[in-house]
Amino acid sequence: MKIAVVGATGLVGGEILKVLAERNFPVTELIPVASERSVGKKITFKGTEYTIVSFEDAIAAKPAIAIFSAGGSTSLALAPKFAEAGITVIDNSSAWRMDPTKKLVVPEINAHTLTKEDKIIANPNCSTIQMVVVLNPLHQKFRIKRVVVSTYQSVTGTGKAAVDQLFAEREGRTDTPKVYPHPIDLNVLPHIDVFLDNGYTKEEMKMTNETKKIMMDDSIAVTATTVRIPTIGGHSEAVNVEFENEYELSEIYDILSKADNVVVQDDPANKVYPMPLTAHGKDETFVGRIRRDESQPKTLNMWIVADNLRKGAATNAVQIAEYLMQHDLV
């Protein structure tokens, strides 16, 4: 199984390599790909050194799967070229997510829709992934009418330069380029991605639109406020869910405790609840602070946390690759 990782030198690219190794994905040959300035440099994967190659050389090597984490413009330009060569692309950018001809996949929810004909598969937005993994099993039982979500997102979601900015500010240094319009250390920015004409940010509308597509239900109303905070371990979300059907809290706990790759951490008496610090480096999605919304019927509050570089990006992409391999779809 030849695997190309496009954007191998970035934060998510590095995490993809780590996840492939940890999950013992049967890589027979790794093809690390990056921009022209990185070609010829070396990376190590499972104790073996590999040379970073160009996009052209990667296509010529004919990997079965190429996992892209190189930004939207790169994906738009190059994913079709890989696909035309018969290579299945799993793309981490926003480039293909809302394309009606492309599948937007969270394996726990809709991997069963994939076929051999799907040569470009979109990996959803990190904040959407962790939310829908928890919401979908509840939707199957109680039918979700409306979701109100506020996110508390790690600087790692912006990339290495954002992490550098945070720590430079913390150390009082001014020698690092700024990727945010304001200081991030000791601050909170209600601003992720660009603002749109409707007053929402692109990130907020991603959560709205992607949720409907992944869960295959356009009737679910979603409204989001996405916020950047000075953490590095993962993204957190306060999620308020209104159902069509009444529920018992015991049913919620039972469903979520059995859901694939969901871990319930909910023991307030002992101060147990999900946190980025404890989710960091893990593949599961963690949920806690589960409680009835006492202001209106059939409504639930939850706190959801996941490592955005893992389940929010790398792990989800590798899980898609695992599904393709296990079901002979590449």
Strand-pair category, 65-68 with 2-6: parallel
* Cα 233 to Cα 313: distance, rounded to the nearest angstrom: 14
Among the options 139, 235, 280, 327, which is catalytic?
Answer: 235
How far is residue 151's CA from residue 234's CA, in Å, rounded to a whole number?
11
235 among known catalytic residues: yes
SS (H, E, C) the chain: CEEEEECCCCHHHHHHHHHHHHCCCCCCEEEEECCHHHCCCEEEECCEEEECECHHHHHHCCCCEEEECCCHHHHHHHHHHHHHCCCEEEECCCCCCCCCCCEECCHHHHHHHCCCCCCEEECCCHHHHHHHHHHHHHHHHHCEEEEEEEEEECHHHCCHHHHHHHHHHHCCCCCCCCCCCCCCCCCCECCCCCECCCCCEHHHHHHHHHHHHHCCCCCCEEEEEEEECCCCCCEEEEEEEEECCCCCHHHHHHHHHHCCCEEECCEHHHCECCCHHHHCCCCCEEEEEEEECCCCCCEEEEEEEECCCHHHHHHHHHHHHHHHHHCCCC
- Is 126 among the catalytic positions? yes
Question: Among candidates 113, 128, 303, 142, which has minimal Cα distance to 207?
Answer: 128
Candidate list 112, 126, 280, 327, residue with the active-site label: 126
- CA–CA gap between residue 17 and residue 112 (Å, rounded): 25
Active site members: 126, 235
